[in-house]
């Protein structure tokens, strides 16, 4: 699949109402401060509507965006260091583009590097704005809606809340809950001193691997058998163990030391772990990484790696209301281990996040 995308228009969309002076300075929380300096990319693909042209659909989205930005006012501002967002209503870039490709071609052979052309900016080209949008018209009448959102001010739950709220406004819904911007109250900002952000030294390589349901079920059965049926893994646990074991098999063979200390870091949504639990309408970065280490003592990498499933489950269970209370008090340090014997491997999952039902009025994304 080769994609040719040409931008035909660019506009700056501002909130429909000016942000009050009282809300001009949106303070980042501690977790916002340490969140990675990159954009979270999302692309939604919609087939031809049959009732409206792509220009009409795009213009409806553009017309409803100002109201969405009034509700989510920090998204129309500018980041200032790792301190706050200047909510100056500078606005959001809104691109319209034409793409010489059919939706069927994208679905049959999706190539990550080509898909990035549907985004308004490179996810790793981090800047001081908070979000941008690109609507691309496909030759078949379908459309791609691409977003980038700064991870410094939002997590996947927050991003899903914004997109779904914007879609509801576009549909004409009226009963739309407002977001709660209380991150800095939940996790007060800290003086990070000379601590620097994560720096991406090399351009990331992105590849796509597709596992069928039958293959995933086979992996789950295999790992359940390895541990005598005591622990049946979830989908993400089975896939993570499999990928991890292949990673270990390839790196261990190149090492003279037969012990490699490894780390897996799943990301935990903290909202349901508060007392009382928070709703998903709390905007910001309200997550925390947890870690588990494993010393490889056996060349049976899948058997050894599966030990991490139990460790990860124990770690997830430990993140309860008491853990969150200590985290809010600053009693739990940032997970930042530096060791020459340590190889870090992170994974995350967007399953069950509110990202798959975004309907702007012409149905859910395909």
Q: Quick one: which of 135, 165, 143, 209 has its CA closest to 71? A: 165
The two three-digit tokens of residue 314, written as one number: 């124990």
Instruction: Label residue 111 exposed, middle or buried (CB < 10 Å: 0-12, 13-18, 19+).
Output: middle
Q: How far is CA 31 from CA 27, 111, 152, 266, 334, in A?
A: 12, 32, 8, 15, 9
DSSP 304: H
Contact of 186 with 288, CB cutoff 8 Å: no
Q: Is the peptide bond before 325 cis (omega within 30 degrees of 0)?
A: no
Q: Parallel, antiparallel, or unpaired: how do β-strands 143-150 and 39-46 relate?
A: antiparallel
Specify whether the CB–CB gap between 164 and 148 falls below 8 A. Answer: no
Q: Work out the end-to-end distance of the chain between its first and last CA atoms, rounded to an integer number of angstroms.
A: 18
Token pair, residue 212, equals 């069928």
Q: Structure tokens of 214?
A: 């039958």
For residue 104 the two structure tokens come to 């069927």
Pairing of strands 5-13, 25-27: unpaired
- The number of beta carbons lying within 10 Å of the beta carbon of residue 268 is 19
Contact between 142 and 103 under an 8 Å Cβ cutoff? The reply is: yes
Catalytic residues, by residue number, are 151, 359
Packing angle between helix 235-252 and helix 213-226, nearest 10 degrees?
70
Tell me which residue of 311, 318, 281 sits closest to 293, measured CA to CA.
311
In three-state secondary structure terms, 13 is strand
């Amino acid at each position: 699949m080769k994609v040719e995308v040409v931008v035909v228009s660019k506009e700056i969309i501002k909130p429909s109402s000016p942000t009050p002076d009282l809300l001009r300075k949106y303070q980042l929380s501690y977790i916002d401060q340490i969140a990675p300096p990159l954009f979270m990319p999302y692309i939604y693909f919609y087939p031809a509507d049959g009732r409206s042209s792509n220009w009409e659909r795009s213009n409806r989205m553009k017309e409803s965006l100002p109201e969405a930005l009034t509700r989510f006012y920090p998204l129309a501002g500018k980041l200032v260091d790792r301190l706050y967002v200047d909510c100056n209503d500078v606005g959001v870039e809104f691109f319209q583009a034409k793409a010489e490709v059919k939706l069927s071609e994208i679905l049959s052979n999706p190539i990550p590097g080509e898909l990035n052309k549907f985004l308004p900016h490179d996810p790793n080209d981090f800047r001081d704005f908070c979000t941008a949008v690109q609507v691309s018209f496909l030759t078949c009448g379908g459309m791609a809606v691409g977003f980038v959102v700064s991870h410094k001010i939002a997590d996947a739950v927050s991003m899903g809340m914004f997109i779904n709220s914007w879609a509801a406004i576009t549909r004409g819904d009226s009963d739309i809950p407002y977001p709660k911007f209380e991150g800095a109250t939940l996790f007060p900002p800290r003086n990070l001193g000379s601590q620097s952000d994560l720096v991406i030294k090399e351009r990331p390589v992105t590849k796509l691997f597709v596992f069928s349901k039958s293959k995933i079920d086979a992996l789950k059965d295999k790992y359940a058998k390895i541990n005598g049926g005591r622990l049946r893994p979830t989908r993400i646990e089975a896939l993570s163990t499999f990928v991890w074991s292949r990673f270990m098999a390839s790196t261990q063979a190149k090492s003279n030391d037969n012990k490699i200390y490894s780390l897996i870091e799943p990301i935990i949504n903290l909202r349901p772990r508060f007392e009382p639990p928070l709703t998903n309408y709390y905007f910001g970065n309200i997550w925390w990484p947890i870690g588990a280490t494993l010393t490889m003592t056996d060349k049976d990498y899948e058997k050894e790696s599966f030990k991490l499933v139990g460790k990860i489950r124990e770690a997830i269970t430990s993140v309860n209301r008491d853990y969150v209370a200590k985290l809010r008090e600053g009693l739990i340090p940032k997970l930042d281990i530096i060791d020459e014997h340590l190889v870090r491997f992170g994974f995350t999952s967007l399953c069950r996040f509110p990202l798959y039902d975004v309907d702007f009025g012409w149905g859910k994304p395909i």
